[in-house]
Amino acid sequence: MTLHRGRNLDVITSVQTVRSHWADLVKPGTFAAASLVAEIVDAFCELDLPMPEVYELLTSAAAALGASADPGALVPRFELRLLAALGLAPPDDRCVRCGAGFNEQGAWLDVDAGGLACERCGGGRGEINHLGPVDLVNFRAVGAIRGGAIRASATATPRCARAIDELVTWHLGKRPKSRGLLDTLPG
Ligand SMILES: [Zn+2]
């Protein structure tokens, strides 16, 4: 980008595209997933507040969505990593209410507390909120960042994806509008 320094505002005089993911994002399912990702970033981020980690995450998500045959499956991973970048990801090894480690039963989504609860605190929240041992391992894998890179193999289990979705909705105070678009458009 070339800028001409102005008195108050600088003027953009020329721009060269180095890399663009737009052409890869026009398929309906991909567009829906990308819309959801963009809407969530927009909702969580404040105007004029630089968040390089979130920007990095968004650009890598755009590239990954464009290249994926199942873009909707990438959304939970993006959501959990975004929560982590914002310091909002819940602990994945101890109860959000009492701090105890999880037993062999796994954990329960406790959306009122914004995290995962142990059997004693969350066991009454029903089967729909239950993350069994496999889901719990999956939750950790989906959110894992190793050396700054996304673990490409980690796809959220249905329960894990639902839990992450509910956590995002809880933090936003509303369900993202593009969620409905993703649910209706084919991948
Ligand atoms: Zn507990």
Is the CB of residue 142 less than 8 Å from the CB of residue 76? yes
Percent of the chain with pLDDT over 70: 94
Read off the pLDDT of residues 70-123 as tens digits, 9 standing for 90 and up: 999 999 999 999 999 999 999 999 999 999 999 999 999 999 999 999 999 999
Distance 52 CA to ligand 1 centre (A): 35
For residue 109, give Cα distances in angstroms to 36, 57, 126, 151: 22, 25, 9, 23
pLDDT on residue 147: 46
When pLDDT is averaged across residues 163-177 and rounded to a whole number, the result is: 95
Q: What is the pTM of this model?
A: 0.85
Q: For residues 5-25, give the mean pLDDT.
A: 89
Distance 2 CA to ligand 1 centre (A): 55
Cβ burial, residue 148 (10 Å; 0-12/13-18/19+) = exposed
